[in-house]
Each structure stands twice: as C-alpha cells, then as structure tokens.
Amino acid sequence: MKRIASVTLVMVWLPFVSQAQENANPSLMQALMQAVSSATVSDAQVADLSRQAIKEMDAKNPVAAANDSYVLRLNKIVSRHQTMGGLPLNYKVYKVADVNAFATADGSVRVFKGLMDIMTDNELLAIMGHEIGHVINHDSKDAMKRGLQLSALRTGIASRSGTVGKIAQSQVGDVADYLMSAKFSRQQETEADDYSYDFLKRNGYNVMALATSFEKLAKLNGGAQSGKLASIISTHPDSQSRAQRVRDRARRDGLAK
C-alpha cells in the first residue's frame, strides 16, 4: 500500500486531482477553478472536496469492520466526542501498520492500526485533537488553497475561460511529489498542539498524554522502525522539544510536577 500523507488535508489533494476527471460535481469544479485564480477557496468548497476525497480513500484502504476490536476500542475512546469545535465528526480505523492519523475538513477522522498499537487511549485522543485542531484553525483550508494553486500551475486545469481541463494521469505524480512533502508552519503546529492541550484539559483528561505521544513519535523517528512510519513523523518535527513545551505548560498550570 502506498504511504499516505498525514495531518489533515494533505491527503485530500491527490484524490481531488483524480476525481476531477471522473465524477466531481461540474459546478463545484468550475467554482474551484475560479477560486484558484482568485486565490480564495471557501470553507464549503473545502468540505465538499474533503467528502469526495475521504470516500475515495476509504475505498482504497482496508477499513475495519464495525465489530472489529480496533473499532470497538476507538468507539469507546471517542464516545464523548461526536463533535469538536462545533464540527460533527465521523471516525474509522484503517487496518494498516503505519503510525498515522488524519482529519479532514468535513469532520472525517481516520486512525491507523499501527498508531493504535503504540498509543494509550489518552494519547490517541491527544493526537486526534491535534489533527482536528488543524481543521478548526483553518490550516487545512490554507493547505488546500496551496494545493489547488500548484495543481493549476502544473497541469493547466484552469483555462482562461474558467472551464475544467483534462488532467493526464502522468501529471498526478508531479502534484503528489509536492503534496507529500508539504508541511504546516511551526506556528500552525504550535497552535494545533495548544488546541489539543486545551481539549484534554477542558474534558478532564491528563494533558501529559500529549507530551508522551510526542515522545513516542520522537523515539520511533530515531529508531529502526521507519518502514512502518507514515508522514506523521515528518509533519510533527522536533517532537521531543514539543513534548517538553507541553510539560512546561502543564507545570505552569499546576497539572504536573
């Protein structure tokens, strides 16, 4: 299975490119091409593309059945959190060994088996809170805009008349190369960390779960298990220092010694 980019909507753009040829809504696509030209993409457009993309991603990955032990565990973990920041959420587990998770602007949260195998329940909540933080903070919208602009530049999918052009399959790889290496800014990552910390604190969870989840990622990044690591590692750079930042804040808040 191909390695899937993590952190919110990075994985959305590639399905968007392939969908444009086949079954995307024409009026939506024309509006998006016009949006690329004006460098604006609405929240509704991003959410609509997310729904298209997640449907394709679910079809291409082994989704755990409703009675699967991983699904039962995840359902128990998130039972109190069917919405976050006013966004209705839907959760699924991919039976994939990669250490990965992502959330998309339509409220879809996908957690990989490999991540569940190494994280406690609270650590999983901390990571999901971080990923959803990117959506709530509109980082995913900004990332989608960059992806659409690059796609337009590289493939010419937006013509002068605003109509949708054809996208050759051979061109998809060029777009994917950029998208797989795209990262959020340090400020965006810090704000997503803060969102997860506040979520844990507000709901009575141990905020140190965010620190220990980063420490586990840092350990994996420095170890010999890179074959099972998805891009959650590269998109969570300097995990050790971010864990220390959480610990420092928890001490200031009187939540840790």
Point out the catalytic residue in the list 56, 123, 131, 215: 131
The Cα–Cα gap between 41 and 208 comes to 36
Q: Which amino acid is at 32?
A: L
Is residue 9 within 8 A of residue 140, CB to CB? The reply is yes
Q: Which residues of 178-202 are buried (b: 16+ CB within 10 A; e: fewer)?
A: ebbebebeeebbebbbbbbbebbbe
- Assess contact for 201 and 253: CB atoms under 8 A: yes
- Asked about 189 being catalytic, the answer comes back as no
Taking alpha carbons only, the member of 180, 172, 154, 142 closest to residue 16 is: 172
Number of neighbouring beta carbons within 10 Å of residue 23: 10
Taking 3-state DSSP, the helix, strand and coil percentages for the chain, each rounded to the nearest 5, stand at 60, 10, 30
Q: What single letter denotes the amino acid at residue 215? A: E
Report yes or no: 247 and 256 within 8 Å, Cβ to Cβ: yes
Phi, psi (deg, nearest 5) at residue 39: 60, 30
Count other C-beta atoms under 10 Å from residue 78's C-beta: 19
Provide the 3-class DSSP secondary structure of residue 103: strand
Residues serving a catalytic function are 131
